Chain A
């Protein structure tokens, strides 16, 4: 399919073109060029998704290897899950560009440039079948993200937030690169399928293979904001412009998880297959820890974007649980979960941007009751919050149900409890903030919330609230509706079987054989998943209402709670040296656990 490279090439050409002419052309021209390029790439991504039934390869530079030959060029292998992810990220970039019509004034064309680069790079990242190419595209995503984070930084704390983000992400990239170098030293190949084939033929699962797996996994987990790699992501989300923070939450973090899954199933699944159990346990542990800690942290934030960031981390922990089950059903669950979460979370961040533009604030308590006259934003906020609460047959329900069922089948009875805890905790925080801001319900002060420096609103010409509200509303309802699409779960299960079949992947890429037929996806709703979904929905709403008046708890209780959270809060120090120490510690522990258990 000759359209495959266009997914990346069109936004990139448009980005450089806008940068070239942006200074002379009026701002509208940059906006229009950005829309056009993003819309074109979204349409192409849809075409690629529809036609990627099996696995479609594309060889750059025409370096298609002979049947069974060594791949000397860079190849992409487009499968349905990858294509769907590319469509999601390009679609959200397009939505954010429409939303930001006149949102940011100064050097707006550079914002368009960076968003286009971000979208193109994330699409390239998920479609690539070459490990070094994946590294390059992730660096491109990251550099665009660093720049977007610092986009409107006028004070020192946002700048420092962006600095910390850049340093920590870059060290994560070194871990990945170390792993790539080790794999290259062993196999002499960079193509995922070729590495996998050679590791399988070699059959050794010695220190090199385990270390490479541990480094690549930790490096990408660090980019996905898993605890203890989440600190700098929270800072970056809080300071980035709302639409940029939205795509970080909805796309960038998930890219890290996608890479962990993609590289595990193409490279390591064969050679480390006999160690599925320990790998599953370690990754499930990381996911569960992240889900619980982040859900608690989201209850302590008064800065809306920072609160939303922790809510995302809680869900990211759940995504990792889905992937860590190492079963197609879990992967399918994570995939549909990522879709509905991405749409809903983007809507929430965009509402944050609307509050900043229309009311000049992003702080829950300062904004108390100030959102009363913003009905569109309020509806978008609560619809998106409900979508994230996993209500029966709507929103994130399918994702939850698939992961719960898959975990139950594998004997992990505690997974539904963790998912419910993460969902209730993080959604209650969103509902609490919404009740205070949009309805003035509850107390004006809250001893449990942390202090936050105020953020200056972005300079804007005329707020285009109609456009902004429309985009946020559409995304929120889309997030809610994604769960109602019954065919989606079956499609996802089918695609996940394809995604997790290493042998078939290798045959398609290197031997030009058609993909092995994956079993048709089927999935039936179980009673327990409906029960859990009622629990999370009711629990989120009740806890959300209760949290608005939690200051009225007896004083000893609030004091004890605040004291209990003090160490958790103290760890989030905003200091780059602390963050890197945590990064090294986390890598050491996770890598060490993998090494000890796999040997």
Chain B
């Protein structure tokens, strides 16, 4: 059960980081922390004891392997993470350009 609980913990830790963040780049990193909890959860669900990687190059096809689907899903998840993080960093750079700060409390946002 521990790996599942670890995923929950990391997810909440990432959220805590975002809520207390004073720097948009730090916020971006915390979003990645949150996202990594989903990798752990997916991979942990598909893990099987005494099993090997699902690559049949040099193992007999009867060999017990871990679930290949969750690995493919994780790969997709990672690419989504890369895309979102790159966009967030670009936005943060532009915010810094125009307001000379990365602290969300100091940047005048839209209110009301």
Chain A residues in the interface with B (C-beta under 8 A): 132, 136, 139, 143, 146-147, 150, 153-157, 159-164, 166-167, 170-171, 173-174, 177-178, 181, 184-185, 190, 234-235, 238-239, 300-301, 306, 450-453, 569, 572-577, 580-581, 584
Do B108 and A156 have beta carbons less than 8 Å apart?
Answer: yes
The reply to whether B45 and A185 form a contact with Cβ atoms under 8 Å apart is yes
Among B20, B35, B87, the one with the most A-chain Cβ atoms within 10 Å of its Cβ is: B87
Knowing A159-B94, A161-B109, A190-B69, say if A181 contacts B15 (CB, 8 Å).
no
- Closest chain-A Cβ to B7's Cβ sits at a distance in Å of 8
- Do residues B73 and A577 form an inter-chain contact, with CB atoms below 8 A? no
CB-nearest residue of chain A to B93 = A159
Please report whether the interface of chain A is mostly helix, strand, loop or mixed according to DSSP.
helix
- Write the nearest CB–CB distance from A237 to chain B, whole angstroms: 10
| B35, A238: Cβ atoms closer than 8 Å | no
Q: Is the interface of B mostly helix, strand, loop or mixed?
A: helix
CA of A575 to CA of B18 in the docked complex: distance in angstroms?
11
Q: Which residues of A contact B92 (CB under 8 A)?
A: 163
Please tell me the size bucket of the interface on B.
Answer: 35 or more
The interface residues of chain A lying within 8 Å CB-to-CB of B20 are 577
A-B contact count (CB 8 A): 128
Contact at A450–B112, with CB atoms within 8 Å? yes
Question: Which residues 32-58 of B have a CB within 8 angstroms of A?
Answer: 34-35, 37-38, 41-42, 45
18 additional A-B pairs beyond A160-B110, A574-B109, beta carbons within 8 Å, are A143-B84, A154-B98, A156-B95, A159-B95, A160-B109, A171-B31, A171-B34, A174-B11, A178-B41, A181-B38, A184-B73, A239-B110, A452-B112, A573-B111, A575-B104, A576-B24, A577-B104, A584-B19
Q: Which residues of B contact A (CB under 8 A)?
A: 11, 15, 18-21, 24, 27-28, 31, 34-35, 37-38, 41-42, 45, 69-70, 73, 76-77, 80, 83-84, 87-88, 91-92, 94-95, 98-99, 104-105, 107-112
In the bound assembly, the distance between CA atoms of A265 and B5 in angstroms comes to 30
Contact of B91 with A300 in the complex, beta carbons under 8 Å: no
Chain A contacts of B73 at CB under 8 A?
A: 132, 184
- Is the pair A575, B77 in contact by a Cβ cutoff of 8 Å? no
Chain A minimum-CB-distance residue to B95: A159
Tell me the smallest distance from the CB of B70 to a CB of chain A, in Å: 7
Contact of B80 among A139, A167, A452, A453 (CB under 8 A): A139
Leading 5 A-B pairs by shortest Cβ distance:
A574-B109, A450-B112, A156-B99, A156-B98, A185-B45
B110 adjacent to A184 (CB under 8 Å): no
Is the pair A572, B111 in contact by a Cβ cutoff of 8 Å? yes
Q: Which of A162, A170, A574, A580 contacts B91 (CB under 8 A)? A: A162
Kindly provide the distance from the CB of B6 to the nearest chain A CB, expressed in whole angstroms: 13
The answer to whether B19 touches A184 (Cβ under 8 A) is no
Distance in angstroms between the alpha carbons of A136 and B76 in the assembled complex: 8
A97 to B104 Cα, complex, angstroms = 34
